[in-house]
Amino acid sequence: MHGFFTYLEDNPGVNDPVFHERSHGESFLDLVAAQSRYPGLWILDEPESALSFTGSLALLCDLRDILAAGGSHVILSTHSPILASIPGAQIYEVEPWGYRPCAWDNLDQVRNWRLFLDDPQRYYRHPL
């Protein structure tokens, strides 16, 4: 992303943000906001990696709005239960055994986060 942000700053468009003056996550959200006015195919690979909880919620809202505007599609690879909850998403769980359609409530990540948040202490006995 650093190289892409440098390219965009060297070749600015109208009202493009200055990406290197912000955190990685903030720059990514700025990029999504700047590009959201152009319908198309969005392919995102673990975009939550630079985002806080609130940043993930902001991206969720941005993607929801992009899809609602029409003319766009999103293919998203994520470990984030937040991003996997995009309304109307077709979710596939990918594991070593292959992939399968899966309801959001049945995703391993959703179940594991719920268990952890319910009682973090139970996970402390496992090697980290």
Q: Which of 58, 112, 63 is nearest to 86 (CA)?
A: 63
pLDDT tens digits, one per residue of 69-119:
999 999 999 999 999 999 999 999 998 889 999 999 999 999 999 999 999
Tokens (6 digits) for 18: 């200055």
In this predicted structure, the answer to whether residue 18 has a pLDDT above a threshold of 70 is: yes
User: How would residue 31 be classed by pLDDT, with cut points 50, 70 and 90?
Assistant: confident
For residue 11, report the phi and psi dihedrals to the nearest 5 degrees: -130, 65
Residues 93, 107 contacting (CB under 8 angstroms): yes
In this structure, are 63 and 12 located in the same domain?
A: yes
Q: What is the pLDDT of residue 127?
A: 67
Within 8 A by CB and 6+ apart from 114, the residues are none
Q: Assess whether 72 and 107 both reside in one domain.
A: no
**Residues 35, 95 within the same domain:** no
Instruction: Report whether 85 contacts 105 (CB < 8 A).
Output: no
Considering the domain boundaries, does residue 50 fall inside one? Answer: yes
Query: What is the overall mean pLDDT for the chain?
Result: 89
If one counts the domains in the chain, the total is 2
Same domain, 60 and 25: yes
Do both 45 and 107 map to the same domain? no
Say if residue 16 is in the same domain as residue 61: yes
Higher pLDDT, 4 or 98: 98
Q: What is the pLDDT of residue 59?
A: 96
